[in-house]
Amino acid sequence: MTNDTLYKKSYFSRLPELGDLAPEAFKAFVEFDQKAVAPGELTAKFKEIIAIAVAHTTGCPYCIEVHVNNAKKQDVSREEVSESIMVATALKAGSAVAHGGNALNAYDGTSDQELYKQQYFDRIKEFAKLSGDAFQGFIDFDKKAMKAGVLSAKEKELIAVAVAHTTGCPYCIDIHTKGAKNQGASKEEVAESIFVATALKAGSAIAHSVNALNAYDSE
């Protein structure tokens, strides 16, 4: 490995070494990961679409590579991939905007000891006056990203639920879980989307272990 090359597709081939270094934990993760992306209430194809969105949220290049390739095998179109990425982008940006209510509370010196309340989310409307053009630009993008296209509104809400669990935004979880329910998603479908997100977030950590192995062996 050269000092300036931190990511190569070939590095991912080192991942099985973890099976020798931490066999029980590695095996348990692999079994969980396979179950999380297996078809259930949601199809294997749609779970790969969710996985692509989440991989762009975690920023794992190995995961993006793996799940885009898996998605192509499931006949996922380039348009479906693109729309899932836009939902992920909207949710990651939306998490920052949503937490703006907390920032306003902090700036105003509120004495409330509870850091998360649904009512705090209402404060983001204040950004329409504080940063009007940027705020309106975000609102317009968010609406277009979540609008039904090659992916249905229900599918986009389920992707949003998964991504919201990756960004850890309680406001987004609340909004998009209700949005998914309103679009006809079952509780089982919501749960399966969450476990795809869980597998991908954990998978990102494991995938990056190949960089740790490279770093350890370079000394």
Q: Which residue has the higher pLDDT, 214 or 111?
A: 214
Segment 139-170, tens digit of pLDDT:
999 999 999 999 999 999 999 999 999 999 99
- C-alpha 43/C-alpha 63 separation (Å) is 19
Mean pLDDT in the chain?
93
Segment 35-78, tens digit of pLDDT:
999 999 999 999 999 999 999 999 999 999 999 999 999 999 99
Question: How long, in residues, is the chain?
Answer: 219
Going by pLDDT thresholds of 50, 70 and 90, the confidence category of residue 119 is: confident
- C-alpha 152/C-alpha 149 separation (Å) is 6
| pLDDT at position 135 over 80 | yes
**Residues of the chain above pLDDT 70, percent:** 98
**Residue 1: its pLDDT value, please?**
44
| Across 210-219, average pLDDT | 88
**Residue 202: its pLDDT value, please?**
96
